[in-house]
Amino acid sequence: ATVINLAFYHYTKNFKAASLFIVIIIYGLLTFLLVDGGIANTAFLWFYTFPLLAFFLRGRKEGIAWNFLFISTSISLFIFGYFGLFRIFYSLDQARQLLASYIAVTMLAYFYEETSYRNFRSLVSKTKELEKLNQIQEAEAFTKEAQQQQTLESVEELEKTKKAVLNILEDLDQEKNAATSLSKDLAKFKLAVENVKDQIAITDQDGKVIFANPATTNITGYEVEEILSRKAGIRELWGG
């Protein structure tokens, strides 16, 4: 039966079906030994393996069900035997001690399975909590890193803006200096033009005077305001 069960599990990979098959086989074998008695009535020694086997292969709930079934079967067989329906190999005291010890082993096996189950559930719960905590920590680390990156980018942007502003200020300062220098040069030029004894007149593209120095007044006899906007070289102003 064991070989058949192993072969069945090997080809199907169905643990539940294979475990159910082995529990049924062991249950039938122990029921037979309960009636037969085994060698020198020592078959009862094998009964105590069934609680552990049932809980291990089928879990808490089905393990209790299978052990209850075996206890019920044992009690029924003992009753039928003592009523003479078939031969029983155990005395009343032996049967009572066998059932009491079997129930005790079943309860101990159940408590062990229950404790293992609760410990497993607690371990799973703590594992999930740790995973959740790790996810929170990873999210916080990612957020912190993103904030640091954003701060670094903001600082870099501020540095670029600062450099741009400094460059603009420097250009404005250079332009201011150039304008001041040009203004000084123009003032010198104006001073020179206004004090030269030769007349100096500047005309536009139509030949109209747009600038005349004071020497022009001395030569033409007209004020500068009278000469402006007039044609240069006309006899009225310069004679001829």
Model's pTM, two decimal places?
A: 0.49
CA distances from 234 to 14, 84, 107, 198, 215 (A): 124, 164, 138, 18, 17
Q: How many CA atoms lie within 13 A of 15 on its CB side?
A: 4
pLDDT over 70 (residue 240): no
- Report which of 1, 55, 8, 54 is spatially closest to residue 29, judged by C-alpha positions: 1
Handedness of CA 37, 38, 39, 41 (dihedral sign): negative
pLDDT tens-place string over residues 163-200: 888 888 888 888 888 888 878 877 777 777 777 777 77
pLDDT over 80 (residue 10): no
pLDDT at 69: 93
14 band by pLDDT with thresholds 50, 70 and 90: low
pLDDT tens-place string over residues 134-165: 888 888 888 888 888 888 888 888 888 888 88
Return d(Cα 164, Cα 157) in angstroms, integer: 10
Percent of the chain with pLDDT over 70: 90
pLDDT over 60 (residue 221): yes
72 band by pLDDT with thresholds 50, 70 and 90: very high
pLDDT over 80 (residue 238): no
120 band by pLDDT with thresholds 50, 70 and 90: confident
pLDDT at 233: 66
